[in-house]
Amino acid sequence: MKELICSTIERNVVLKCIRDHKRLDLRTIDETRSINIEFRAHPGYVSVTLGQTHVIAQASCRITKPKESRASEGHIRIHLDMSKIPLINLENWKHQEFVQELNGILEQNIRHSNCLDLESLCINSGELVWSIKIDLIVLNNCGNILDCANIATLCSLYHFRLPEVSVHGSEIRVYSSTERRARPLRILHFPINVLFAFFIDGHYTLIDPNSDEERLMDGFFSISMNQHKEICGIHMGGKLGLKKEQVELCKKLAFKKVLELTDRIRQVVTDYYKTIEPITHAQPSIIRIDNDEDEDDDSSSSSESEDPVLIKPEIPLSPIENNVSLLLMPDLDNLSLTDDVSTMIATNVDKLTSDLENDDEHDNE
């Protein structure tokens, strides 16, 4: 599957519009498209649309051995999958190069900026740590996959819940989300990426190009910043040479966007965990006798019949959302300490209480 070739007429029209400082979708030069963030019932699963560009992200965790040089730090990996969309630039190798370039930029932004506190992922120093993996899948490419994927990664990290672990000597016990509430990841800051496209020898610039504009750009300049005005990553791609003033201007524009988006991401995730979600699921491993509940709100009835032994008694029950953790309860005897412990996935349920948001705020101070 290949994308359609850009005709000369299309090219001329778009470039002419840009010269007149206009855009075909009636945006201004420094206006981004509308962003829509949706979560599913699985923690860490987010679907982000930036205009028509659609990216889904899923975070998952594994327990592995840490690197010898960094014995108490966990790992984070990002994998961007663009294999199901039509080939960009018509050639398979160009498409692959593009994917690798984007993957590299995302890794630099997220991993090298230390937005996730890797030491908090440590279980047993030198032996066991959590390894977080973010899988990004691009469903629709309408320009600016980078920004969309970046937002998806951050939302996914903030949304994800890590299972509780307790260490007894050389053995560890992983608790399912029904036994102990899964905790959020420790995110120190949000490095938001803003992409600028340059046209006609770098004379004209646009923010958040759509697919037509992206095909015709000379090159792009992506800058990743957080709300504390710290630059987390800068990348220049394509045939582009920029002056210092242009870079400064881009930084200013980017900072405005970053502030809006950081608030938005925080708000969206906190709202999700606050609202009463009707999506609920029975617990497969624990048998309980439930009364008939009404169709829409299963969560309220199941919270009443909750077995008090299974949850910490001091946490007040509230009929809020249910949560499915991605961790299976492994047999304690079979928990091996080799390099690649098999992925653990759970299908148990949990009730998050209002304490969770307090934890969130506390963690993100």
The Cβ-side half-sphere exposure at 173, using a 13 Å CA radius, reads 7
Least distance (Å) between residue 281 CB and another protein: 4
Nearer to another protein by Cβ, of 167 and 279: the residue is 279
Euclidean distance between the first and the last CA atom of the chain, given in angstroms as a whole number: 47
Least distance (Å) between residue 135 CB and another protein: 3
CA-derived radius of gyration, the chain: 23
Nearer to another protein by Cβ, of 295 and 365: the residue is 295
Question: Quick one: CA dihedral 182, 188, 192, 193, positive or negative?
Answer: negative
Nearer to another protein by Cβ, of 167 and 282: the residue is 282
Residue among 197, 118, 108, 198 at smallest CA distance from 153 = 108
Nearer to another protein by Cβ, of 242 and 341: the residue is 341
Residues that bind another protein (CB under 8 A): 1, 40-42, 44-45, 47, 52, 54, 56, 58-60, 62, 79, 81, 84-86, 133, 135, 137, 139-142, 211, 279-284, 290, 295, 298, 324, 326, 340, 342-343, 345
Residue among 150, 124, 170 at smallest CA distance from 35 = 150
Nearer to another protein by Cβ, of 93 and 362: the residue is 93
Least distance (Å) between residue 107 CB and another protein: 17
Nearer to another protein by Cβ, of 170 and 291: the residue is 291
- Residue 174, both tokens: 């992983």
Least distance (Å) between residue 245 CB and another protein: 36
Least distance (Å) between residue 42 CB and another protein: 6
Least distance (Å) between residue 298 CB and another protein: 7
Least distance (Å) between residue 84 CB and another protein: 5
Per the DSSP assignment, residues forming a β-bridge with 198 are 205, 219
What is the DSSP pairing of strand 128-140 with strand 75-81? parallel
- Residue 275, both tokens: 């609202």
List, as one string, the DSSP characters of 177-215: TTTS--EE--B----EEEEEEEETTTTEEEES--HHHHH
Nearer to another protein by Cβ, of 196 and 214: the residue is 214
The amino acid at residue 291 is: N
Residue among 198, 130, 139, 140 at smallest CA distance from 160 = 130
C-alpha–C-alpha distance, residues 177 and 161, integer Å: 9
Q: Which residues of 247-258 are buried (b: 16+ CB within 10 A; e: fewer)?
A: eeebeebbbebb
Least distance (Å) between residue 5 CB and another protein: 14
Least distance (Å) between residue 112 CB and another protein: 22
How many helices (H) does the chain have, and how many strands (E)? 7, 16
Nearer to another protein by Cβ, of 61 and 269: the residue is 61
Residue among 354, 363, 273 at smallest CA distance from 315 = 354
Nearer to another protein by Cβ, of 140 and 364: the residue is 140
